[in-house]
């Protein structure tokens, strides 16, 4: 089972990969912003020694977009 850090890193990597593939500048910008948000979520999280993010510290992009938390 992957840790949340690994999941967040995968999401960031996937957004960056897709940004490289698109020809649409607006979509590229959005994907790069999402990649940065996933990376920031890793840095903001409270991690234990195994790389797990403590319960209740999910700060990924989807939660902000869903209106469940204020922007950083």
Q: Are 62 and 54 in contact (CB under 8 A)?
A: no
How does pLDDT run across 18-59, given as a tens digit for each residue?
A: 999 999 999 999 999 999 999 988 887 766 666 565 555 455
More confident residue, 31 or 3: 31
Confidence (pLDDT) at 54: 57
For the cut 80, the answer to whether the pLDDT of residue 68 exceeds it is: no
Residue 72: pLDDT above 50?
A: no
d(CA 17, CA 41): 18
What pairs with residue 53 in β-bridges? 47
* Predicted pLDDT at 70: 46
| Region for 51 from its dihedrals, namely left if φ exceeds 0, alpha if ψ lies in -120 to 50, beta otherwise | left
Whether pTM exceeds 0.75: no
């Amino acid at each position: 089972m992957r840790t949340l850090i690994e999941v967040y890193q995968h999401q960031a990597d996937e957004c960056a990969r897709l940004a490289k593939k698109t020809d649409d500048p607006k979509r590229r910008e959005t994907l790069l912003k999402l990649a940065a948000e996933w990376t920031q979520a890793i840095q903001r999280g409270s991690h234990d020694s195994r790389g797990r993010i403590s319960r209740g510290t999910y700060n990924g992009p989807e939660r902000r977009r869903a209106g469940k938390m204020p922007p950083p």
